Chains A and B, each alone.
Chain A
């Protein structure tokens, strides 16, 4: 908000000439105007009311429960226990360790990819983005299974190392490194996308300008490009860190006992100990941690960067101490990096003098391509390893797969539990996607076009996905337990819609940013009323974006496990939940067959939506 105020004088000057007539009247008309404005905000109502009931209220309820002891008295007993428990503190430490390292590795690996994507031409870019998003789209569980095939004791990686003659390879799985590989793989795409949106808006002439002004590439990068990309780096890091805090699939399946994370502790407390109050206290603690991190982030770079705004301007020590310290440290870091890289550059020049009469070798660009492609291969390829092993004749997952057999597919398709779970997931995903569109699209239109306090509104609508899922899951579980909604499809649909709305809003706002509103104005002047304009002009042009938004919501719901884990109450099951339950016992070829089918299904969904999107682009 601060930089908004700083920029205000310029904006007021700009807009002074275009004050709306309705706002220039006296007190009475101003009152009417504000009333009208409130009425005009109706598109926000469905989304806000829904999230108020299905998200804010349950979370508040959870907060309340954590302050009540087993006899129903108000007490802080759970929090005292939280503070005293050595298990909790150990689990917390490892959770933060995992989240922090995941963030560090994700940011470092994502940076060159995002940089490359921001500099290549449109068609190359779209193709590369699909590969980067591959893990994002393919189910979390499928990916994790794939890593088990790859990294297992007799997995593809170890066999490859064996061929290379490395006899006693390190174990990559069921330890910290396994968790790291899985988590970075899962969360890096998020980081790439966030950085990309910032890097795209950096004028590439700035680096060129720096070099004409006498800066070596290293100096130009650290002093000009990097500072401008910091909002993207920070936003990417924040999202990865927060998401990583709430992750449990990867640590549970690729880690050991030692890598037990806080979400597993919450699940354990509720499922096995039935200690809801204590679980609530842990969830609240997680929520508070998330809020503190957001607060520090806001002080450092500004929350508005999350929705593509600019970073905080210069701050002073008094009004924003954290920001001031961060700025000084950041400045120091940049100074050190710039000088260091300049020294390296000078050394290189001395070792390999540049000849004025011979073209230079463009080594830098090739290095970026190589690094980025390596990262993209890491992101895109693993999931496909699940397909060959699903055709194995062996009774256990092994690499390479033995023979060829369709038995695992037959066993899945003839098992009513699997079929029912699949159909339920499909039905719920379609419903959640549809409801998400119903609530999200009007809100996105309003926010993109009219709203004041855009950042705050987006912040609220997006909050369900930037806080750990487990908090929503536990909260809904409490609420549903009172309403008797546990184990119902309706309960699942509501829970998934809470997650669908933010994704729809974010996608639609991004799409609407590129929509030229003058086309609507042109339609009005040509005699179309609002409804007809929407039907004949706006909707056809937005269709591709809407399909993308729906697909996004659909995929999120289809893949969702955390909420399902609680809300199904063990009575019904969704596909991810069934996969999870089976995986806890053993990752069998049956699971590989399910995973392969999910993978193929998701790929088709993505390709179809990409096709629709491209056709939409062509129309425009």
Chain B
């Protein structure tokens, strides 16, 4: 049974999975195109791993359908799916050498030993570990094991590679490095990847698209830019990055723009989705780094005057906490190399004082109050 799936490597349609009375997954539909990197992002218990395991064939969904490379595979066993999977703890076979580990999927597919040898050596070159073929997994570092697990999932060129928090066990520095390596590998080999993580930064760094999940449902699916700058829900705004979420009421709106009066009386303008009516309670999202510390000339749509209460140097940026006369609290982020005021406050040389803050209408998102 084949349907027209274009160049989709994976299509998931309306998947549902329950464990007893717990609904782990509900109405999940995603697709991954050839060469695309899609990340399932969400807190633990949001259903992202349940979805991944259903796609891998490691748990059966209650209803819905899964196509891999145009072939219906909803209830096929994992070994008939043509997938590659990288597990969180790597799941390298401890009693086999690196070579035998990587050769395993090829042998299961009854390849000729000579071709297997060539393929394994080629993939070892790709992961830049050509000399470790005869070692055992326990003799490798965490980063090396991770690369071998990756090689094992790639060597037979499966339709799609599934990765279940593959970098979860590594320390920050190595994680950052491997994120880039996986990204490069993905670009070089043009493979479809479905990646699971709970780390929003990782998702932003690596993905072509992100599927944000919450309580077994898909909250929002889009490019990192869309999710970051145009979240559709308060949850999405809150989960990805930092945000100021200000409560207020819509006073006027047209097609995609609205005026909002915050609870303290401040008037703001921002972009608004359909389905929110005048007078409705909303939350206005502004990213801290969208807020500029104004010096004079500029005139963005939204301007407030506030006292700088505190500032913390966090490395590349300074995080500033402001409070307006009406009691509105705002946090802003500015580059450490930027405005002097904040830097001085951070180092304790200057007392907090009045500051004009401004940000554009495009960077102000009006969201339905959850």
Q: A206-B93, A213-B108, A228-B94 are in contact. Are A358 and B75 (CB under 8 A)?
A: yes
CA A278 to CA B153, docked complex, whole Å:
65
Cβ-defined partner of B85 (8 Å) among A209, A216, A227:
A209
User: Are B104 and A356 in contact (CB-based, < 8 A)?
Assistant: no
Contact with A along B204-216 (1 / 0, CB 8 A): 0000000000000
Residues from chain B with a CB closer than 8 A to the CB of A313 are 136
Residues from chain B with a CB closer than 8 A to the CB of A227 are 95
User: Are B79 and A216 in contact (CB-based, < 8 A)?
Assistant: yes
A127 at the interface (CB under 8 A from B): no
A527 at the interface (CB under 8 A from B): no
A359 at the interface (CB under 8 A from B): yes
Residues from chain B with a CB closer than 8 A to the CB of A21 are none
CA A313 to CA B138, docked complex, whole Å:
12
- Please, how many residues of chain A have a CB less than 8 angstroms from a CB on the other chain? 28
User: Are A357 and B75 in contact (CB-based, < 8 A)?
Assistant: yes
CA A287 to CA B30, docked complex, whole Å:
67
> Nearest A residue to B149 by beta-carbon distance?
A209
CA A213 to CA B75, docked complex, whole Å:
17
Contact with B along A215-237 (1 / 0, CB 8 A): 11101000110011000000000
**Chain A: minimal CB distance from B148 (Å):** 12
CA A372 to CA B172, docked complex, whole Å:
45
Residues from chain B with a CB closer than 8 A to the CB of A212 are 56-58, 78-79, 81, 83-85, 162
CA A313 to CA B78, docked complex, whole Å:
31
CA A258 to CA B152, docked complex, whole Å:
58
Residues from chain B with a CB closer than 8 A to the CB of A219 are 108
**Chain B: minimal CB distance from A42 (Å):** 35
CA A209 to CA B72, docked complex, whole Å:
21
User: Are B79 and A228 in contact (CB-based, < 8 A)?
Assistant: no
User: Are A10 and B89 in contact (CB-based, < 8 A)?
Assistant: no
A190-208 with Cβ < 8 A to chain B: 203, 205-206, 208
Contact with A along B240-275 (1 / 0, CB 8 A): 000000000000000000000000000000000000
> Nearest A residue to B72 by beta-carbon distance?
A356
CA A209 to CA B80, docked complex, whole Å:
13
Residues from chain A with a CB closer than 8 A to the CB of B74 are 356-357
**Chain A: minimal CB distance from B76 (Å):** 5
Residues from chain A with a CB closer than 8 A to the CB of B94 are 206, 228
User: Are B108 and A214 in contact (CB-based, < 8 A)?
Assistant: yes
User: Are B105 and A213 in contact (CB-based, < 8 A)?
Assistant: yes
User: Are A214 and B79 in contact (CB-based, < 8 A)?
Assistant: yes
Q: A212-B83, A215-B104 are in contact. Are A356 and B109 (CB under 8 A)?
A: no
B170 at the interface (CB under 8 A from A): no
A488 at the interface (CB under 8 A from B): no
User: Are A211 and B91 in contact (CB-based, < 8 A)?
Assistant: no
**Chain A: minimal CB distance from B55 (Å):** 10
Residues from chain B with a CB closer than 8 A to the CB of A215 are 79, 104, 108
Q: A214-B108, A354-B75, A355-B75 are in contact. Are A206 and B80 (CB under 8 A)?
A: no
B276 at the interface (CB under 8 A from A): no
Residues from chain A with a CB closer than 8 A to the CB of B95 are 227-228
Contact with A along B83-123 (1 / 0, CB 8 A): 11101010101110000000011001100000000000000
CA A10 to CA B139, docked complex, whole Å:
7
Contact with B along A342-370 (1 / 0, CB 8 A): 00000000000011111110000000000
CA A35 to CA B78, docked complex, whole Å:
59
Residues from chain B with a CB closer than 8 A to the CB of A224 are 93
User: Are B105 and A214 in contact (CB-based, < 8 A)?
Assistant: yes
In this complex, the member of B56, B57, B104, B105 whose beta carbon has the largest number of chain A beta carbons within 10 angstroms is: B104
In this complex, the member of B74, B79, B80, B162 whose beta carbon has the largest number of chain A beta carbons within 10 angstroms is: B79
**Chain B: minimal CB distance from A393 (Å):** 52
User: Are B75 and A209 in contact (CB-based, < 8 A)?
Assistant: no
A91 at the interface (CB under 8 A from B): no
A210 at the interface (CB under 8 A from B): yes
CA A358 to CA B74, docked complex, whole Å:
8
B331 at the interface (CB under 8 A from A): no
User: Are A209 and B87 in contact (CB-based, < 8 A)?
Assistant: yes
CA A7 to CA B81, docked complex, whole Å:
38
**Chain B: minimal CB distance from A613 (Å):** 29
Q: A215-B104, A219-B108, A354-B80 are in contact. Are A203 and B75 (CB under 8 A)?
A: no
Residues from chain B with a CB closer than 8 A to the CB of A223 are 104
User: Are A211 and B79 in contact (CB-based, < 8 A)?
Assistant: yes
Residues from chain B with a CB closer than 8 A to the CB of A357 are 1, 65, 72, 74-75
> Nearest B residue to A230 by beta-carbon distance?
B95
Cβ-defined partner of B1 (8 Å) among A7, A354, A356, A360:
A356
**Chain B: minimal CB distance from A228 (Å):** 6
Residues from chain A with a CB closer than 8 A to the CB of B83 are 212
B309 at the interface (CB under 8 A from A): no
CA A14 to CA B267, docked complex, whole Å:
60
User: Are A356 and B93 in contact (CB-based, < 8 A)?
Assistant: no
B73 at the interface (CB under 8 A from A): yes
CA A460 to CA B277, docked complex, whole Å:
81
Q: Which A residues are within 8 Å of any B CB, using their own CB?
A: 7, 10, 203, 205-206, 208-217, 219, 223-224, 227-228, 313, 354-360
- What are the nearest 10 A-B pairs in CB distance? A209-B91, A214-B108, A213-B105, A212-B85, A211-B78, A205-B91, A356-B72, A212-B78, A215-B108, A356-B76
Q: Which B residues are within 8 Å of any A CB, using their own CB?
A: 1, 56-58, 60, 65, 71-81, 83-85, 87, 89, 91, 93-95, 104-105, 108-109, 136, 138-139, 152-153, 156, 162
Beyond A214-B109, A360-B77: 11 further Cβ-contacts under 8 Å?
Answer: A206-B91, A206-B93, A208-B91, A209-B87, A209-B93, A212-B79, A212-B84, A212-B85, A214-B105, A354-B80, A356-B1
Listed by A's residue number, 15 A-B pairs whose Cβ atoms lie within 8 Å are A208-B56, A208-B87, A209-B85, A209-B91, A212-B78, A213-B152, A214-B108, A214-B109, A354-B75, A354-B76, A356-B71, A356-B74, A357-B75, A358-B75, A359-B60
